[in-house]
Amino acid sequence: MLLIRKLWVIQKTLKTMLDLNQFSHSHDSLEIIHRGHLSCVRKTFHSDLERAQRNVAKQRQFRPIYTGTAKVAAAEVIEFHMRSDSAELLMPYIEGITGHMFPVHATRNVAHTLSASLSTLLYAELTESREALVETSLFRDKLSSVSEATQDLALKQLVDNCTAVVDRFPAELLMPIGPCHGDLTLSNLILDPASGITLIDFLETFLETPLQDVAKLKQDFVYGWSFRKDPPALVIKAEILCHHHLPQAIVQIERMYPDQVRLLTMMTLARIAPYVTDSVTQRWLVRSLTDCLGATPQ
């Protein structure tokens, strides 16, 4: 009897340890499965399957980048199946540090590898881009639908303030149009401290530009999105590491496209507003959007 109970406890503990869904930020489900010697992650998409297919195509098309100090690759797509009411993606399980685990494991060396790898990625994206004029009405329209979908009054006001800032930009802005991950937050990359990063969870965006990735990285490195719910001691550690290891490419690209990066950072933050369901995130977003708006010349 005791043995059966022990086995049950071990099985339950293993199940909890292997449950990746606790790290999920969407309604898609994640499962670890074993195929011979290979451990894999199976991600099942339950909605917007056509978009999921395009996102996985982005992951497949990503060409690995190697430099002397960094490696950036996408997680291999082993299989992808579309079914009538779901789609399934099979990838290898990638060992490494991801998302909110960064401040727990990060040392200066880890932060350095992360920073160098991200710069390598951003420069590569920029090299493959070409400049084009983008109508600012595109951002105004997006913000107006974000405002409509936002329930929280303080956040709605801030989103409307963003629209007022967009109104002061010229009708068209020059932007580098080209490849981007589309949702480059720390939870969508897995870092091997010895080499570099593996990208997961690619996302099609309304405007394919490397500046999207710059904006999402600022959301983590400058505003601390991924650490917002961590204990204060870890938040301080993360803030110090992010301050000292902000990828050099972000600094340079911001110098090249100051208004454009500000605009996309504002958009990236504003688009969280309709989905806020807890008070920590609400306070974090009010603080971050206020800061971002303050940084915008009036």
Ligand X SMILES: Nc1ncnc2c1ncn2[C@@H]1O[C@H](COP(=O)(O)OP(=O)(O)O)[C@@H](O)[C@H]1O
Which residues sit at the interface with ligand X, rule CB under 6 A?
20, 23-26, 28, 30, 41, 43, 75, 91, 93-94, 98-99, 187-188, 190, 200-201
CB half-sphere exposure, 210, CA atoms < 13 A: 24
Residue 28 in the binding site for Mg ion (CB under 5 A): no
The single residue among 80, 91, 166, 201 that binds Mg ion, judged by CB under 5 A, is: 201
Q: How far is the CB of 127 from Mg ion (least distance, A)?
A: 26
Q: How far is the CB of 148 from Mg ion (least distance, A)?
A: 25
CB of 154 closer than 8 Å to CB of 276: no
Q: How far is the CB of 113 from Mg ion (least distance, A)?
A: 21
From the list Mg ion, ligand X, none, pick the one residue 29 interacts with, judged by a Cβ distance below 5 to 8 Å according to partner type: none
Of 25 and 54, CB closest to ligand X: 25
Q: How far is the CB of 48 from ligand X (least distance, A)?
A: 12
From the list Mg ion, ligand X, none, pick the one residue 41 interacts with, judged by a Cβ distance below 5 to 8 Å according to partner type: ligand X
Of 40 and 177, CB closest to ligand X: 40
- Which element (helix H / strand E) includes 30? strand 29-35
The single residue among 120, 188, 198, 268 that binds Mg ion, judged by CB under 5 A, is: 188
From the list Mg ion, ligand X, none, pick the one residue 230 interacts with, judged by a Cβ distance below 5 to 8 Å according to partner type: none
Q: How far is the CB of 2 from ligand X (least distance, A)?
A: 35
Distance CA 235, CA 4 (A): 42
- Complete DSSP assignment for 174-242: EEEE----S---GGGEEE-TTSEEEE------SS--HHHHHHHHHHHHTT-GGGTTS-HHHHHHHHHHH
Residue nearest to Mg ion (CB): 201
Question: What does the binding site for Mg ion look like in residue numbers (CB under 5 A)?
Answer: 188, 201
